[in-house]
Structure 1
Amino acid sequence: MSAVIDPSHGAPAPQPNCESESAWRELLSGAPTRALAFGPGGRIDRAAFEGDVRALAARLPQARHAVNLCEDRYRFLVALCAVAVRGQINLLPPSRAPAIVDDVLGRYPESYCVGDLELEPVPPRYLRLQQALPPLAGEPLRVDDEALLAIGFTSGSTGQPKPNLKTWGGFRTSTAQNLAALAGLLRADGVTEVVATVPPQHMYGMEMSVLLPLLGPVAVHAQRPFFPGDVARALADAATPPLLVTTPVHLRALVESQIELPPLAGIVSATAPLSQELAQTAERRYGCEVREVFGSTETCVFARRRTAQELAWTPLPGVRVCPQPDGTAIHAAHLPEAVVLADLMEVDADGRFHVRGRAADLLEIAGKRASLGDLTRKLLAIDGVDDGAVFQLDEADAFGVRRIAALAVAPSLSEAQILAALRQSVDPVFLPRPLKKVAALPRNDTGKLPRDALEAMLRAQT
């Protein structure tokens, strides 16, 4: 890949400082010949990858931060590590939307953008990767474990995206936990090949499709397949049964497409609650375990469950889940301090826990209680509703009660029919008004529904 910049702006990769030698570690794990990525063009081993990283690192501009916008997963990996080797910090916005990229650049003025697509409009200070650079030989790449690798941002589904700082050392610890979370799905005698449908900029995608191949016995598909046919073709590129890393939205699309998939080592799901019905259907159809993991941008993955057979979550080794009045505190070895999530959790005597919703999702009207999550589940359970979401509006009525609204994708039903079906299981005070039919919900790359996008769509329908 070539960077469209003046080569004179580049600089050689920094070398370890002998005064802090103990903090420096080899960037990658495994032998030089172990596979790190694969795809239609074949396999890429650690030695070839390091050659690509050195080549790009020598050509990056001087800066403090780099906004990594690469779509191709291999190019993302190369850019991520080249930025780190140069002593810079990767910025990972939740999307490539111009307003979001501009917001990140505004927060971190000493930064540039690096990507592999022809974007319109072109982001400020955009360095586009185009074609292969001659690889550079050298010693194994090393990084400071205490250095910041990346700043990830929450998706902004409930407000302004917030930065979350991640170090190499923290990621090494959390990756060891993730390897434990995937025990039984990974090969015991070699490298497990992974195909991921989630973007690498998202923390779940970062953990499962970037850090695992860098720090574990995993090789990842170079591309990011999206549609069912693309996913099937990517899975077919694997030499051994691969692990599919995906989301409930993508998994449902695969199941409903009836497309044939090659044998799988397993399926991993996250970013939104996975229904037990969908997990059971996927296990029957694809003949493998569907394992759901629980985490957030703030915490990384910290629990797992086999959703088809259990509803309780099992914390990963070294994780403690501590309920408190305003949410739940998560303690883990990779976190410098406990992180308090808005999720309300109930911990069993054996340490496993159940998620009971979020404080912000709880509704109390006329002395009655419900939750937005439960109302959404009841909407989705209606025969003929393909997708839907129930949410609460900011504005209140004359009595000071904030209205409940819903959007539904239901081609064969009318809005009146959907409401009539909801009346069978929902108390009248919690019926969404307005309820509007739409062609599709405004889901982002990971299947989440940003609140501002839901409200904008609702306004457009009225």
Structure 2
Amino acid sequence: MPQLPLFIGDGSRPIAWRDGRVVSLGDFRRDVAAIAAALPRGESVVNLCDDRYYFLAAYAAALSAKRTSLLPPSRVEQVVCEVERANPGTCRVDDARVESILRGDAQDGAVEHTLSGDFTAMIGYTSGSTGQPKANAKRWRAVHGTNACNAAAARRALRIADADPAWIVATVPPQHMYGTELSVLLPLIGGMAVHSGRPLFVADIAAALEELPSPRVLVSTPIHLRAIVESGQPFPAASLVISATAPLSQSLACAVETRLRAPLLEMFGSTETCVIATRRTALEQAWHAYEGISLTPQGETTLVEAPWFAEAVVLQDAIELDGSERFIVRGRHSDMIEVAGKRASLSDLTQRVLAIDGVQDAVVFQPETREAKSIVRVAALVVAPTLSAREILEALAVSVDPAFVPRPLVLVDSLPRNELGKLPRSALTDLLKRSH
């Protein structure tokens, strides 16, 4: 298996923005060498860093030391312990540990510049929104393959040359595969640079963007983008907005483009496949598959193949091909429900609830039942301070078949979204039980 680079560019190119200044690749490599020298012996590293620069440096240090990075779906202690038990010989790295290493008398050490394409660079975990989180190993060859596609897509949207830098602000955690791809790998092997923070509130996101030179890329999620659109706060222009983790409506995409004065590129993929397609959601419904991606519809699933995959991956989404590289997503198998011979999509039902004036947030889902022959039903949790449940149900009755009108529909103060804006199924079930 050929060796592939661990870093892209010369020592002078920017890789990060931290504490109001540019961090060069040369300075970054020195930090990586210090962290790699301080890692205890072991097979893998659980990277719990919240500071994005520390995460990036610890991630590169693990690679240089030939350790696999473990990216838990949550930093809750029980979840981290479960990941450690499944991967013996693991050490933890967090912000305090990295800061201690870099502030101390760092050991002089060499840093690797290449890595075998066959090396397992990281193990990511699904979010748990459709069940229990599952581990997914990524070889360095696969990491390089998907990163090249992501970098090319971003630069096309920015209309800049392959070697030109771009500056990233991300609201998503680096431990999630989307966050890793767009805010860790693009700086490391995509020739871009990233802000060290992870701003969550609108004012903080605006301040982080304002700090950076152009072109500026905001990597975010629908939940954060909606907050930006609905806030009355002044907001700097971006050069590009990238969104993933949940479906983005065309109306919200248009509003984001107007608010941030930049095109919005939505990305499609999964933890199993990484990003495989993009679309300009404000202008189109169809997705454009990356060059090299092969999609084969198989009823309610899709077989995905790519030259950088170790093997074909089954995606739990039904698609309809529209030419050789375009496709439309028709729904996810777990998203489809059937009642009395009729079928409906839970995500479509959710969008219909969200479209009602006065609804701030909502989710429609199918509660678990222990009775094998029980009637299929759907429930809804809705945040709508100015509406009653009856008013929402009456509005839904205009466009939703009676078989799929949510019962119960429960009004709540907020939904149990995680740091990605996703809704773990277990959290929804618990909230419904407590509220109904």
Q: Fold-level match, TM-score > 0.5?
A: yes
Does residue 196 (structure 1) correspond to residue 170 (structure 2)? The answer is yes
Asked if the contact 1:145–1:169 (Cα under 8 Å) also holds between the matched residues in 2, the reply is yes
- Structure 2, unmatched stretches of 5+, are none
Structure-1 separation of matches of 2:298 and 2:147: 27
Residues 255-274 of structure 1 correspond to what in structure 2 (within 5 A)? 255-274=229-248
Does residue 176 (structure 1) correspond to residue 155 (structure 2)? The answer is no
Match of 2:228 in 1: 254
- Deviation of the 1:60 alpha carbon: 0.9
* Identical positions, percent: 47
Match of 2:158 in 1: 185
Asked if the contact 1:186–1:265 (Cα under 8 Å) also holds between the matched residues in 2, the reply is no
Asked if the contact 1:343–1:355 (Cα under 8 Å) also holds between the matched residues in 2, the reply is yes
Distance change (3 Å), C-alpha of 1:259 and 1:332: farther
The 3-state SS of whatever aligns with 1:301 is strand
Once the two structures are superposed, residues 231-278 of structure 1 have per-residue CA deviations (whole angstroms, 9 ceiling, x without a partner) of: 011101112231111111111111111322223111000010010000
- Larger CA deviation: 298-307 vs 166-175: 166-175
The 3-state SS of whatever aligns with 2:311 is coil
Once the two structures are superposed, residues 389-415 of structure 1 have per-residue CA deviations (whole angstroms, 9 ceiling, x without a partner) of: 000112177962122111001010111
- Deviation of the 1:301 alpha carbon: 0.5
Does residue 92 (structure 1) correspond to residue 71 (structure 2)? The answer is yes
Once the two structures are superposed, residues 160-195 of structure 1 have per-residue CA deviations (whole angstroms, 9 ceiling, x without a partner) of: 211111121211111111122221326326311111
Does residue 430 (structure 1) correspond to residue 430 (structure 2)? The answer is no
Report the AA paired with residue 29 of structure 1. I
Does residue 143 (structure 1) correspond to residue 122 (structure 2)? The answer is no
Structure-2 separation of matches of 1:373 and 1:296: 17
The 3-state SS of whatever aligns with 2:45 is strand
The 3-state SS of whatever aligns with 2:194 is strand
TM-score, structure 1 as length reference: 0.90
Distance change (3 Å), C-alpha of 1:191 and 1:310: same
Asked if the contact 1:390–1:407 (Cα under 8 Å) also holds between the matched residues in 2, the reply is yes
Does residue 217 (structure 1) correspond to residue 187 (structure 2)? The answer is no
The 3-state SS of whatever aligns with 1:363 is strand
- Deviation of the 1:128 alpha carbon: 6.3
Match of 1:13 in 2: none
Report the AA paired with residue 187 of structure 1. I
Distance change (3 Å), C-alpha of 1:397 and 1:64: closer
> Aligned-residue CA RMSD in angstroms?
1.8
Structure-1 separation of matches of 2:261 and 2:105: 43
Structure-1 separation of matches of 2:111 and 2:62: 17
Structure-2 separation of matches of 1:100 and 1:398: 30
- Structure 1, unmatched stretches of 5+, are 1-21, 118-126
Asked if the contact 1:186–1:192 (Cα under 8 Å) also holds between the matched residues in 2, the reply is no
Match of 1:77 in 2: 56
Does residue 42 (structure 1) correspond to residue 21 (structure 2)? The answer is yes
- Deviation of the 1:148 alpha carbon: 1.1
The 3-state SS of whatever aligns with 1:395 is coil
Distance change (3 Å), C-alpha of 1:261 and 1:40: farther
TM-score, structure 2 as length reference: 0.95
Does residue 234 (structure 1) correspond to residue 213 (structure 2)? The answer is no
- Deviation of the 1:318 alpha carbon: 0.7
Once the two structures are superposed, residues 75-105 of structure 1 have per-residue CA deviations (whole angstroms, 9 ceiling, x without a partner) of: 0011111112222111001110122112111
- Deviation of the 1:31 alpha carbon: 0.8
- Deviation of the 1:316 alpha carbon: 0.6
- Deviation of the 1:365 alpha carbon: 1.1
Distance change (3 Å), C-alpha of 1:36 and 1:133: farther
Report the AA paired with residue 421 of structure 1. A
Asked if the contact 1:114–1:129 (Cα under 8 Å) also holds between the matched residues in 2, the reply is no
